[in-house]
């Protein structure tokens, strides 16, 4: 991973389990805690969802690593921090556990399983170092050795992250292929079953991904938001308005909700997050068109930047919240 703040930290979507039956209840996904393992036979979508959980946990791990680098620097020479250092890489253990579930589970996904094995090896190498770093900083051992051990940990951490960069790139490349493949299958199945609420939920997220891809393509950040191409985002805004409108139409249809096993309250959270995302995109378009730069104060802190109206970072944050809501409905 790059030792700088990554702009587009896109969470990915869990898929529902389509059983080929109409009105089969809410779009519940698999019990991820109880599947996987050596030679365990699972549904193809269940295994896919295991890998999606891992994909999203990598996002959390990288955020923690970036927080560490923010305090001590990303160069070879360790920089003494002004305050405390958070080196609690709690996701490492969870990622190892999830990889050990997913890799041997049947059916095999040859290339994805192979890249996951390489990723697992990196995390197994990282685990003891991560534990030592957490103990060192949480126990304030640095007060007795004036950060001598910190430099040693820092050097090893950078070396392992170089291996991580290679492994995670290969993993994400294979995951991106699998995501397209599985999403197309799921969309066709939902249409076949007449589950238009679930289908339009997925389409909202699909348009959202187009928005984030455009942010990435334009290399747009809060620092240069005024240079954005508003026309590109306005076209996507119109597309998003239309698909959210389709979702809302069917989400208010009592007959359709009953067919798909929904109650009013099941969709409230997703509806609110979709509206928030739609608004965040509208705010981005308005800021670009008005050529209104973001204040230096907000640019200095990621928290304020992500909560700044009309910033690309706010759009990304809003989308990830929508994805989390989507995934929570599929568990």
Q: How far apart are CA 237 and CA 241, in angstroms?
A: 6
> For residue 298, how many other CB atoms are within 10 A of its CB?
20
Look at residue 321 in the predicted model and tell me its pLDDT.
92
Q: How far apart are CA 277 and CA 208, in angstroms?
A: 8
pLDDT > 70 fraction of the chain, expressed in percent and rounded? 87
Indicate the SS3 state at residue 20: coil
Mean pLDDT of 85-91: 94
Structure tokens at 201: 């939920």
Across the chain, mean pLDDT equals 87
Reported as a pLDDT band with limits 50, 70 and 90, residue 78 is very high
Q: How far apart are CA 127 and CA 89, in angstroms?
A: 9
Q: How far apart are CA 179 and CA 176, in angstroms?
A: 5
Q: With 60 as the cut, is the pLDDT of residue 134 above it?
A: yes
Q: With 90 as the cut, is the pLDDT of residue 38 above it?
A: no
Q: How far apart are CA 114 and CA 53, in angstroms?
A: 17
Looking at per-residue pLDDT, the higher value among 316 and 4 belongs to: 316
Mean pLDDT of 242-255: 95
Mean pLDDT of 93-112: 96
Give the DSSP letter of residue 106.
B
Structure tokens at 139: 């126990």
Q: With 80 as the cut, is the pLDDT of residue 104 above it?
A: yes
Residues whose CB falls within 8 Å of the CB of residue 139, separated by 6 or more in sequence, listed in order: none
Reported as a pLDDT band with limits 50, 70 and 90, residue 11 is low
How big is the chain, counted in residues?
Answer: 331
Instruction: Determine the straight-line distance between the first and last CA of the chain, rounded to whole angstroms.
Output: 29
């Amino acid at each position: 991973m790059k030792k700088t703040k990554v702009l587009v930290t896109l969470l990915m979507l869990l898929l529902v389990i389509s059983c080929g039956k109409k009105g089969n209840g809410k779009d519940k996904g698999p019990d991820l805690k109880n599947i996987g393992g050596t030679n365990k036979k699972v549904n193809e979508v269940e295994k896919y969802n295991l890998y999606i959980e891992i994909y999203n946990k990598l996002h959390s791990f990288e955020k923690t690593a970036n927080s560490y680098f923010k305090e001590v620097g990303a160069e070879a020479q360790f920089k003494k921090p002004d305050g405390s250092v958070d080196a609690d890489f709690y996701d490492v253990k969870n990622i190892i556990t999830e990889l050990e579930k997913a890799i041997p589970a049947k059916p095999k996904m040859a290339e994805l399983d192979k890249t996951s094995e390489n990723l697992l090896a990196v995390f197994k190498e990282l685990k003891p170092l991560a534990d030592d770093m957490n103990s060192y900083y949480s126990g304030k051992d640095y007060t007795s050795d004036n950060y001598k051990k910190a430099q040693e940990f820092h050097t090893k951490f950078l070396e392992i992250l170089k291996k991580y960069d290679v492994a995670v790139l290969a993993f994400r490349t294979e995951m991106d292929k699998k995501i397209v493949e599985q999403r197309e299958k799921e969309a066709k199945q939902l249409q076949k079953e007449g589950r238009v609420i679930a289908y339009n939920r997925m389409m909202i997220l699909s348009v959202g991904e187009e928005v984030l891809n455009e942010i990435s393509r334009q290399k747009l950040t809060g620092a240069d938001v005024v240079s954005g191409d508003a026309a590109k985002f306005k076209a996507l805004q119109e597309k998003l308005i239309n698909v959210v409108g389709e979702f809302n139409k069917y989400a208010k249809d009592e007959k359709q909700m009953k067919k798909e096993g929904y109650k009013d309250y099941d969709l409230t959270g997703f509806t609110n997050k979709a509206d928030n995302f739609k608004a965040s995109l509208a705010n981005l378009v308005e800021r670009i068109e008005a050529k209104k730069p973001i204040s230096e104060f907000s640019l200095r802190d990621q928290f304020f930047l992500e909560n700044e109206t009309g910033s690309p970072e706010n759009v990304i944050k809003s989308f990830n919240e929508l994805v989390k809501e989507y995934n929570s409905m599929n568990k």
